[in-house]
Structure 1
């Protein structure tokens, strides 16, 4: 699992390198706030369609080949981004990056393959920590390479740096990554294969999976809206450029790593995944409310750390609960459906946030997200009640 975590880390460094830069670069081409958020959402829109495909293919032909193909694709996408000299090229390069990033579901399936159910949350937390580390290193590198002046930007150097990190991920996977899918599970997946639409229908036909995936959607929707408008919000409120935004995202990554890499395993063993999920959704809501009201950088930084704390608790808990609901031969497929749910949220969230930002002002996306987190917390409470009832039933037996 260590090699997969290294692959995810280096791949996410490449992804994170361009995050602080793209909103400013979109404005450089005269794009509106809504167009800028859609530039970021394009990535998730393509990931939406790619994730189930990668997941289903990985159930049939193995995790390793899919990781290699998708990582090589990301190298090409970042090289294309580096050469972009028009807005349409930015959109096209981001679309190709989204297709390659559908492999996160394959990485989750890999973790599910090599961990026991009782250690699943810890394994998902470790992968979340690798993602968080990528967001520490990536935005910091991107911000430093782009500079602190929002009026003088270049995307070429950060994009080439992203391509280099993705190339390193490919080399690590090619040389060191071992296949985790057994022949028995691969044969079972081939025997039981279902179409993509049928698999989505089947997943949402299970009440427990449906509830968890809707919760994952609402949480990701709120966070993605914040993530894609933050640079514009920070520019309007504090006059920040890519360097300051990159440094803040690095701080958010540190909090994510501390929670997902060090604490989530202990916390879930003590309190259970369902309780951690509820605590995470409530914390995200509080962070969004505080961010909407922030008038000083210190308050904005504190609110961002609260958001990271909440996501650090909620996301690995959700992924673990979904994985435990899935059968052994459908891990890649079910997690791929869930990844598409997240991608749909990362497509719709930025679009809604862009509209809110344009017509309601810089804080409007965060007020919208906080309201949606009320729904997430209610769903998390339903999940917790179900698990309490299951535990009482087990004790009765």
Structure 2
């Protein structure tokens, strides 16, 4: 049992660790799920409208691409730092600070009068969004190792549900002006901040925080992580998975339009379909599948499904078969991310989890920057290439995952 485990009531008041047992898992998991869900609803409200809003200020296609990439760039730069700071000072303060930053970012976005203000707003939102690995570390703090993948899956489900509900709300509000969805997202983040302030307990012990303060912040941690074969391999796998999926996301609408003749509304429905599948997989199935097969085998299974799914996307004879192919990608992505995150958290000590998970998300952000760039470039050469090359990247990830199984054995 972790230090402070018997002092639940007093610990919550002082921001200390939660006790072991059923109560240790259920209440914090529900609260962090709700916190992440509301945050992602706000993010999802704004995301689909961003290109249209930017065009009202005369943005070019390149500027819109840079505006989209600015968010991921900030996540790439700041996630290791946020994660390491959460090891030193606790998960709760960093999560609260992130919610405050998100609210301010959405507010600036909604009140923007020039394109450069939109860039400033997305930069602030990206810095605030860099705290996501801290929520993963929170899950790692309050779950036992054998329940870790299920907990990570719940966070993935919160992401999926947020991306389902958020764009729908944004679409409903868009006829009233592109600023209105952003202002609603700001209000939701502010409400979420108040909720988390009163309801979200600290998950990390004082002792773990003291140990973390004696450790280096980021660069030395990076060298240490890469010196561990298993951790380094998991980080590489996470990059490949994120790169391939982001590459697909960036060119999904173009393939739907030019290969299958689908409208923007039909593409939105397919995005919702993928989001629903990922939410169900991560919220319901991941815990059971990982418990039976283990994280290592689940990673291999997920990457193999993405190999077939991505490679077959341009070759479907009709939309019904196309939906089945998308289900392969949804299952592969849905099982991969929580399995990799769970295995990473189990490969490090509690006072290093935030930093390592932050490093993983930074690697993922790099994939989200490079993936769309690669997809746009290769689609211009041949509409099949983003998906065939994405499948090739995932084939390499599959071979690497077999090596990971050897380390996990």
TM-score of the aligned structures, taking structure 1 as reference length: 0.89
Question: Is 1:163–2:191 an aligned residue pair?
Answer: no
Deviations 1:127-171 (A, max 9, x none): 111111112211222233337xxxxx9522222232233223212
The partner residue of 1:178 within 183, 198, 201 is: 201
Q: In 1, Cα distance between the equivalents of 2:54 and 2:161?
A: 26
Mapped partners of 2:326, 2:128: distance in 1: 28
Q: 1:292 aligned to 306, 310, 314, which one?
A: 314
CA contact (8 A) 1:60 1:189 kept: yes
Q: Is the deviation greater in 267-276 or in 161-170?
A: 161-170
Contact 1:274/1:383 (8 A) holds in 2: yes
SS at match of 1:178: coil
- Tell me which of 263, 272, 276 is aligned to 1:250: 272
Q: Provide Cα deviations, 1:249-296, integer angstroms capped at 9, x if missing partner.
A: 222221112111111111111111111111111112222123233475
Q: Does the residue aligned with 1:264 lie in a helix, a strand or coil? A: helix
Q: Partner residue of 1:393?
A: none
How many residues end up aligned between the 2 structures?
Answer: 380
Aligned partners of 1:246, 1:257: CA distance in 2, in Å?
A: 16
Report the counterpart of residue 97 of structure 1 in structure 2: 125
Aligned equivalent of 1:199: 221
Q: What CA deviation, in whole Å up to 9, does each residue of 1:317-371 have, x standing for no partner? A: 00011001111111111111111111111111122222223x3244432222112
Counterpart selection for 2:97 from 69, 85, 95: 69
Distance in 2, matches of 1:171 and 1:29, equals 33
Distance (Å, rounded) in 2 between the aligned partners of 1:283 and 1:267: 15
- Alignment equivalent of 1:136, drawn from 153, 164, 187: 164
Residue of structure 2 in register with 1:150 after alignment: none
Partner of 1:324: 346
CA distance 1:373–1:23, change in 2 (3 Å): farther
Q: 1:8 maps to what in 2?
A: 36
Structure 1 pair 211/190, CA: closer, same or farther in 2 (3 Å)? same
Q: Which moved more, 1:312-321 or 1:347-356?
A: 347-356
1:50 aligned residue (56, 64, 78):
78
- Structure 1 unaligned segments of length 5 or more: list them: 148-152, 391-397
Which residue pairs with 2:14 in the alignment?
none
CA RMSD of aligned residues (A): 2.2
- 1:146 partnered with 2:174: yes
Over residues 170-191 of structure 1, what are the superposed CA-to-partner deviations in whole Å (9 max), with x where a residue is unaligned?
1221121001111111111112
SS at match of 1:329: coil
Q: Contact 2:303 / 2:398 at 8 angstroms: preserved in 1?
A: yes
- The structure 2 residue matched to 1:335, chosen from 348, 357, 361, is 357
Matches within 5 A, 1:347-386: 347-357=369-379, 359-386=380-407
C-alpha distance in structure 2 between counterparts of 1:232 and 1:89, whole Å: 29
Aligned partner of 2:10 in structure 1 is: none
> Is 1:187 matched up with 2:210?
yes
* Aligned mates of 1:270, 1:21 — CA distance in 2: 41
* Normalised TM-score (structure 2): 0.86
Alignment partners' CA distance in 2, 1:144 and 1:83: 19
**8 Å CA contact 1:4, 1:107 repeated in 2:** yes
